[in-house]
């Protein structure tokens, strides 16, 4: 007990002396979104703290639009990866007291050690964990908690208190104007009601068949008499076009790939978003949009781990026991998502519209 108290005092002393934190998350959009509550927790607990996010250039905007992130470092620049020695130099110049490696790799572990950052927090279950000064012994692959909870758990190794996770993503008047201009280009007014569908996952999730998206879009458009807008990312233009071609009417693809803030502004005004387990689903959730997510019954890909935090009630997961191709946890056929029907999506949409109508009645009363 005395050793634990001594360790706690040492940690507090280092943090008080140098309250510059570096949070490292170098994978994809959704992963970075689910990491940002770590920055907020630090800001709440450590007075005068400075938080830098180290990420990829394509996800930097997530940190830039979060008021609890003070600075950004990208591991790439203008299409090229920064060299190891370039990054060491950058990190040394930042004079960080603590690095939190949320998604660890061997190179990142060595990098933070080479930059001589005094406190380096990471997993205790890798061969390179010796490069971390503070190790978290928790197996994420068991997926018994949400990714946000795993991320915040790293702060336990610094004796930093945690509170309820909070997500922040600010968009500007320019972002709102870009969203309104997009609606105008599609022949819609900025006050028109619509829902959005994002069928692509960029390979980060199991895909629902495109023909199912088409049927679901038709059902939604017909029942609620609203347009269904199809958003798409880089290299997904043909996917969006094909979805529109397979649909009957009032299903419209966005004219181009929007910036994340402009897309966030559009999502914010949508009745709901239908998407697989991807970053756009998390973006919609953190700006307040209702989301319908499509998830496989695989533990490490389930909504328990990767769903919109605190909003798992409208996540659709197939019953794997009804899948004739199922090979258990090691299944590679990946056909179980076909057990989710367009009618199930329509029922989830009905639930959302019923909730919207109930809120309107309460506001009138």
> 2-158 in CATH: which number?
3.40.50.2000
In 177-241, the DSSP E strands lie at 195-197, 228-230
Residue 362: predicted pLDDT: 67
**Contact criterion met (CB below 8 Å) for 136 and 157:** yes
Residue 202: predicted pLDDT: 81
Please, what are the averages of pLDDT over each run of 10 residues along the chain (365 residues)? 52 70 97 98 95 98 98 96 98 97 97 97 97 96 94 95 91 95 96 96 86 97 97 93 94 95 97 95 96 91 92 84 60 73 97 86 62
**Contact criterion met (CB below 8 Å) for 44 and 15:** no
Residue 42: predicted pLDDT: 97
Residue 1: predicted pLDDT: 47
Residue 66: predicted pLDDT: 98
**Contact criterion met (CB below 8 Å) for 226 and 220:** yes
Tell how strand 273-276 and strand 315-316 pair up: unpaired
**Contact criterion met (CB below 8 Å) for 303 and 143:** no
Phi-psi region of 159 (alpha: psi -120 to 50; beta: other; left: phi over 0): left
d(CA 66, CA 33): 10
**Contact criterion met (CB below 8 Å) for 197 and 293:** no
d(CA 42, CA 39): 5
> 173-364 in CATH: which number?
3.40.50.2000
Helix ranges (H only) for the chain are 2-17, 29-33, 36-45, 60-64, 84-94, 106-114, 147-153, 173-185, 210-224, 237-246, 260-269, 279-286, 303-306, 342-364
**Contact criterion met (CB below 8 Å) for 34 and 51:** no
0.75 exceeded by the pTM?
yes
**Contact criterion met (CB below 8 Å) for 162 and 41:** yes
Residue 249: predicted pLDDT: 85
Portions of the chain given CATH number 3.40.50.2000: 2-158, 173-364
């Amino acid at each position: 007990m005395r050793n634990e108290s001594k360790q706690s005092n040492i940690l507090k002393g280092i943090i008080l002396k140098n309250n510059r934190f570096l949070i490292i998350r170098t994978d994809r959009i959704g992963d970075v979104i689910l990491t940002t509550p770590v920055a907020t927790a630090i800001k709440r607990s450590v007075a005068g703290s400075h938080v830098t996010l180290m990420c990829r250039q394509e996800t930097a905007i997530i940190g830039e639009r979060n008021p609890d992130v003070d600075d950004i470092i990208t591991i790439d620049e203008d299409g090229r990866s920064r060299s190891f020695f370039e990054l060491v130099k950058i990190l040394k110049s930042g004079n960080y007291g603590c690095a939190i490696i949320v998604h660890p790799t061997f190179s990142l572990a060595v990098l933070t050690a080479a930059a001589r950052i005094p406190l380096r927090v990471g997993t205790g279950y890798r061969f390179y964990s010796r490069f971390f000064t503070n190790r978290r012994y928790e197996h994420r692959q068991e997926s018994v908690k949400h990714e946000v909870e795993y991320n915040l758990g790293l702060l336990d190794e610094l004796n930093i208190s945690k509170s309820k996770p909070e997500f922040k993503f600010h968009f500007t008047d320019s972002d709102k104007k870009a969203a309104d201009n997009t609606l105008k280009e599609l022949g819609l007014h900025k006050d028109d009601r619509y829902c959005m569908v994002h069928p692509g996952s960029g390979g980060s999730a199991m895909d629902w068949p495109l023909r199912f998206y088409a049927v679901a879009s038709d059902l939604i458009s017909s029942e609620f008499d609203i347009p269904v807008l199809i958003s798409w990312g880089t290299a997904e233009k043909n996917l969006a076009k094909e979805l529109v071609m397979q649909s009957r009417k009032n299903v419209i693809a966005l004219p181009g790939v929007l910036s994340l803030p402009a897309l966030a502004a559009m999502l914010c005004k949508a009745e709901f978003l239908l998407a697989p387990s991807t970053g756009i689903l998390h973006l919609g959730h953190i700006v307040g949009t209702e989301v319908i997510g499509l998830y496989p019954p695989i533990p490490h890909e389930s909504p328990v781990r990767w769903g919109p935090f605190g909003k798992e009630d409208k996540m659709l997961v197939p019953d794997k026991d009804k899948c004739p191709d199922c090979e258990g946890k090691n299944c590679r056929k990946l056909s179980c998502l076909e057990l989710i029907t367009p009618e199930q999506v329509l029922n989830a949409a009905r639930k959302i519209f019923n909730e919207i109508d109930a809120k309107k009645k309460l506001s009138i009363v």
